[in-house]
Amino acid sequence: MAYNCVVLIKQVPDTKRITGRVMNDDGTVNRSALPAIFNPEDLNALELALQIKGKFGGRVTVITMGPPAAAAILRDSLFRGADDAILITDQRCAASDTLATSYILSCAVKKSDYDIVLCGRQAIDGDTAQVGPQLAEKLGITQITYVEELTQLNGKTITARRNIGNGWQQVQTALPVLMTVTSQANEPRVAAAKKMMKYKNACTPIEVEKKIKAENPNAGEADIKELVAHKCAGLEKKGLLIKQWNLDVTGADLNWCGQSGSPTKVHRIQSVVLAAKESKEIEPSDKGISGLINELIEDKIIA
């Protein structure tokens, strides 16, 4: 039996490679100081979907909601083996909290043919781990969170091992299911050279328009529109047009999107900057390391 997988992926600021001032004066995140990357555990979710496809067949669709630049992680997914890619981008998504985000994503997933929905356990920026479980609720399907191993997939039954902090739990359920996947689940594959060659020119209509405007700075709006339509039709024929949906295409009720669909209100933001007060050099020897460990134990930093 073949299984269709839908993987939800998010482009996030790389919180490990901070290159400047992370916070603006108004308390918002200065995204230009942080390179944008594929949320790490979403790569594990994608890898699990690709392994399912490799073993049983079926299609892998990746979906992201974000700004036009998020198309980069959709292309990356195509390079790794995904079959379809959808970008949900719309100004009306702005200010969406996790409830609104999961609602919008649920509308998009409902338009897809799926047996298994996969999310990363958690995004490294928002860090709530709420979107996966909320999405399962909205789809009305079973969820298995914190998946570290897919043990068995047999007909319409799935068995998975989930991390419960101080051990693991093996659970079994009927499809369809939503799983949130941890970094222990697998080692994500790298992009395949052949697929990179095939999909390097894959892009969204917004990207096509940006490029055409840059190439034709004196063209009028009607000409640009025609050129974009022509280019997009050509890309679609070759399977290189990344789908771009706005909220109208998802069929989402606007009352549940953006600010009006977001009950979370941020009352105060505090920027905590951990500055090193002093540094200490450790001798690169067993003696130096033992000394450091003893010091950390004495200071009750480790036990």
- Which 246-265 positions form the footprint of ligand FAD (CB under 6 A)? 262, 264
Residues 6+ apart with CB under 8 A from 133: 143, 145, 180
The distance of closest approach from Cβ of residue 148 to ligand FAD in the complex, given in angstroms and rounded to an integer, is 15
Our finding on whether 127 is near ligand FAD (CB under 6 A) is: yes
| CB closer to ligand FAD out of 46 and 227 | 46
Q: Taking contact as CB under 6 A, which single stretch among the options 74-82, 96-104, 159-167, 193-201 is the one that binds ligand FAD?
A: 96-104
Our finding on whether 120 is near ligand FAD (CB under 6 A) is: yes
Q: Taking contact as CB under 6 A, which single stretch among the options 16-24, 114-122, 153-161, 287-295 is the one that binds ligand FAD?
A: 114-122
Q: How many residues contact ligand FAD, by CB under 6 A?
A: 32
| CB closer to ligand FAD out of 163 and 219 | 163
The distance of closest approach from Cβ of residue 278 to ligand FAD in the complex, given in angstroms and rounded to an integer, is 35
| CB closer to ligand FAD out of 212 and 242 | 242
Q: Which of 1, 94, 229, 282 binds ligand FAD (CB under 6 A)?
A: 94
The residues that touch ligand FAD, with contacts defined as CB under 6 A, are 8-10, 39, 41-42, 45, 64-66, 94-98, 101, 105, 119-120, 122-123, 125-132, 262, 264, 266
